[in-house]
Amino acid sequence: MKTISLFAVIIFSLFSINTAYAQSVKNETIKVWGNCGMCKTTIEKAARKAGATKANWNEDSKELKVTYAVNKTSSAKIQEAIAKSGYDTQDFIADVKAYDHLSACCKYDRKEAGATAETSSATTYACPMHPDVTSDKPGKCSKCGMDLVKSKKEQMKADGLKTYVCPMHGDVTSDKPGKCSKCGMDLKEKQ
């Protein structure tokens, strides 16, 4: 009788461990732009360094299949690490300096990647105190009650889209406020 009880406890324990493990591991597919085998190596290495246990990037589909423990990392952290290595993802645009450091064969068409990244991610609002609390519209944080604000990424994207033009010389434009190089008038934000 003791043997049967012990056997039942062992089986139950193994089942519980497998169930707990299955709930804490996530498989996800992330769009990542790149061109070649060298891109594949860099993208997969960045994903693993950010906490992915498995990472496999497909050069043709531009999709990265990752497996990670949700208590150790997140899709955002993995994508941010990939962007820091120079590659645009579905939610993160790589820094220009990081992109410029890529080998010539690794430089992909950034216009296509940026346009898709912009259309695939709607505006995101986050709590300043709890960045893990996000929403697709303004509101209150569920943890502390603070107002949700546009995420830094969204704010930078909005700021980067502004164009300033001289009221007298329409051909004089800038991406930041300043003075017209021809007449010295203040540049106005283009509507």
If 0-12 CB within 10 Å is exposed, 13-18 middle and 19+ buried, where does residue 114 land?
middle
For 61-75, 76-90, 108-122, 176-190, which range has the lowest pLDDT when averaged over its residues? 108-122
In DSSP terms, 189 is beta-bridged to: 164
pLDDT of 87 higher than 50: yes
The proportion of the chain whose per-residue pLDDT surpasses 90, expressed as a percent, equals 39
Please say whether the beta carbons of 165 and 172 come within 8 A.
Answer: yes
Strands of the 149-150 sheet, one edge to the other: 134-135, 125-126, 149-150
Question: Across 15-19, 24-28, 124-128, 134-138, which has the greatest mean pLDDT?
Answer: 24-28
Give the span between the Cα atoms of 140 and 125, in whole angstroms: 10
pLDDT of 154 higher than 90: no
Angle at the Cα of 69 (from 83 to 92), degrees rounded to 5?
15
- Considering the domain 24-121, what is its CATH architecture? 2-Layer Sandwich (3.30)
pLDDT, mean of residues 127-148 = 81
Give the span between the Cα atoms of 156 and 52, in whole angstroms: 28
The two tokens of residue 25 are 């591991």
3-state secondary structure of 132: coil
pLDDT category at 49 given cuts 50, 70, 90 is: very high
pLDDT, mean of residues 120-143 = 76
What local confidence, expressed as pLDDT, does residue 155 receive? 55
Question: Across 11-20, 44-53, 181-190, which has the greatest mean pLDDT?
Answer: 44-53
The two tokens of residue 111 are 């216009």
What local confidence, expressed as pLDDT, does residue 119 receive? 45
Please say whether the beta carbons of 87 and 63 come within 8 A.
Answer: no
Give the span between the Cα atoms of 111 and 113, in whole angstroms: 6
Domain ranges in the chain are: 24-121, 161-191
What local confidence, expressed as pLDDT, does residue 152 receive? 56
3-state secondary structure of 102: coil
3-state secondary structure of 169: coil
Question: For the chain, what is the radius of gyration of the CA atoms?
Answer: 24
Mean pLDDT over all residues of the chain? 82
Q: At what angle do helices 75-84 and 37-49 cross, to 10 degrees?
A: 130
